[in-house]
Structure 1
Amino acid sequence: MEIFNSVSKRVESAIKAPVQTRKLEVSNDIASNTNTSGQETAKQLVEVAKKLNDNMKTLDTNVEFAFNDEIGIMFINVIEKNTGKMIRKIPTEEAMLLSQRMQEIIGTIFDTKG
């Protein structure tokens, strides 16, 4: 809990306007490219994760954003600064595996041959 309090204090003390502007720019980039294929969307999400990680570095936080292309979901890692050990993953690894299995089941149920 102390880690989250420390992170939230740092975020609050940082200059908020530029961070919010960057967030809106990334959102607008994605919205303008809604007619893209799944692979292009995945590439865009990887780029968004990189931009978010760059923004997090300027705030001196231990939060990393990433994209799992197998299930098409973004996730967040909270890392302990001294040891590099992952403290928390959002969503959890179990939730990501459940999502992957659900997609496989749905694909099997609705996969019909004409």
Structure 2
Amino acid sequence: MEISKANEQRDVVLANISQKVDKTQKASSSIQAEKQSQHGDENQQNLNEKLADITKKLNEQMDSLDTNVRFGYSDKIDSLYISVTEKNTGREIRKIPSEEAMRLAEYFKDAIGMIFDKES
């Protein structure tokens, strides 16, 4: 009986997380589209602040749901990531995208920057 209640609660939390991730991805996509259409360091700073604010709000939501899911923003690849940690120890269980994927994205972003001159 208790196992079924725990499974139901888990399903509700996972559904809430899934909805938050979908909203985050949509917000990230719209912000990145806005970023591509705007130019200048000031605009880049504003977008980074918006993404940091979104990340903060998502983390507050996760705290209210009492989950061990955290959101972050990597300015190296201009993308949000999700980190799942153990509640007791704080050890990272999984990061989405993984560290390797983030390093590859950063590498390819730099490589494209070298191949195509953005200023011409």
Distance 1:7 1:101 in 2: 40
Question: Do 1:7 and 1:61's aligned partners in 2 also have CA atoms closer than 8 Å?
Answer: no
More RCO (CA 8 Å, sep 6+) = 1
Match of 2:51 in 1: 45
| Aligned-partner residue type, residue 11 of structure 2 | K
| Aligned-partner residue type, residue 50 of structure 2 | Q
Unpaired runs of 5+ in structure 1?
none
Match of 2:112 in 1: 106
Moved more, 34-43 or 70-79: 34-43
Cα deviation for residue 63 of structure 1 reads 0.3
Aligned-residue identity in percent: 40
Give secondary structure in 1 for the equivalent of 2:67: coil
CA RMSD of aligned residues (A): 3.2
Distance 1:74 1:110 in 2: 25
Q: Give the structure with the higher percent helix.
A: 2
What is the TM-score with the length of structure 2 in the denominator?
Answer: 0.68
| Aligned-partner residue type, residue 46 of structure 2 | E
* Aligned residues between the structures: 99
What is the TM-score with the length of structure 1 in the denominator?
Answer: 0.71
Match of 2:4 in 1: none
